Amino acid sequence: MLTTIVAFLVAIGILVVIHELGHYWVGRWCGVKALRFSVGFGKVLLRRTDRHGTEWALSAIPLGGYVKFLDGRDDALPPAEAHRAFDRQSVWRRIAIVAAGPLANLLLASLLYAVLFTMGVREPEPGQGPPLPRVQSVLEHSPAAEAGLRADDVILRAGGLYDPDPGAFVDLIGRSADHAVPLLVLRDGGEFPLSVTPRAADAGSPGRIGVGLGVNLRFVEVRYGPLESLWRGMERTGEMVSLTVRMFGRLLIGEASWSQVSGPVTIADYAGQTARIGLEAYIAFLAVVSVSIGVLNLLPIPMLDGGHLLYYLVEIVRGSPPPDRWFDIGQRVGLSLLLALMGVALFNDFVRLLG
């Protein structure tokens, strides 16, 4: 439990600080005065004011953070500092400041993946065949067991997929709940036709057949130089961003179950598990969560960075800021959406915990 708590707090601390530093540094570069940089919400536990007049604070609820910039709508704003207020900046500067937080998370993910590539990653040995899915284990009473699948079977064909890789196979099974999928497997040197019908845990969930999959490949450890590691880290981050966006899209159109949404309890659990496995696993965990935070904050939901960016795009199109009424409605809608999302995430967390 102690490992889990410490690993979670370290992860949240790193990810929040990097996100808010993105806002802070670009704000400073644009000439905006930062009044407070807080790690956490609620009651301030520790504080220190620097020579620029920024209060650096550690607050009681360690589930986020914020940067408070000088606001031109404050009646007590000194006229001499009006030019340093956030809302007095051009729309392009405001866009840069707001977008800097999520982009800082994506940059952090790229650097973390680059560290992993520098430390060494396992890659398939050159000169081998395609990475066919190999069945590593079969659960009792599962659709796979009922279909006759066995450990060490190699999937040669699934539906219309020939020589499927594990990702393509899992995607096909996920989309085929309650529909028979014809298989051709390699077993003991011979080919055998089978048919398996995936089952979904509940309505809207992806299909499952109850197998553990691997690949029939030999792996070697490869280390890359700093520049190539950085490039590969950026590529991996781009892949993770694409995967995260697609998952959000599948949730919205009903192709994925909302039971897959995780909250702070599950994140803390994964933090503890990866920390116990080792440094590489923990770094990979940080990279994945950093990508998720970056993408989530860019969603066009009021109260998130993406919601503010949406307002600024409207301002560019209209030639003037949206009416205050739009902001008021947006704040209420955004708060409702975020509370609903948090409620779903916490419900899923406790279902997994109790299960």
Structure tokens at 322: 């949206």
Is 20 in the active site? yes
DSSP-assigned letter for residue 70:
P
Q: How far is CA 320 from the centre of its chain?
A: 34
CA distance linking residue 69 with residue 76, whole number of Å: 14
DSSP-assigned letter for residue 179:
S
Helices (H), the chain: 2-29, 91-119, 143-147, 166-174, 226-253, 264-277, 279-298, 305-318, 324-354
CA distance linking residue 136 with residue 215, whole number of Å: 9
Q: Which amino acid is at 54?
A: T
Residue with tokens 């067991």: 145
Asked if 283 contacts 116 with a C-beta cutoff of 8 angstroms, the reply is yes
Adjacent-strand bridge partners of 221: 122
A 10 A CB-CB count for 198 gives 22
A 10 A CB-CB count for 256 gives 19
DSSP letter string over 113-136?
HHHHHHH-EEEEPTT-----EEEE
Which position among 20, 81, 191, 235 bears the catalytic label? 20
Asked if 261 contacts 248 with a C-beta cutoff of 8 angstroms, the reply is no
Structure tokens at 271: 């933090």
Among 117, 93, 113, 116, which Cα is nearest to 105's? 113
Please report, for residues 12, 103, 146, 207, 220, the alpha-carbon distance to residue 316 in angstroms, rounded to integers and kept in the order given: 34, 21, 60, 45, 52
Asked if 172 contacts 206 with a C-beta cutoff of 8 angstroms, the reply is no
Q: Which amino acid is at 237?
A: T
Catalytic residue positions, numbered = 20
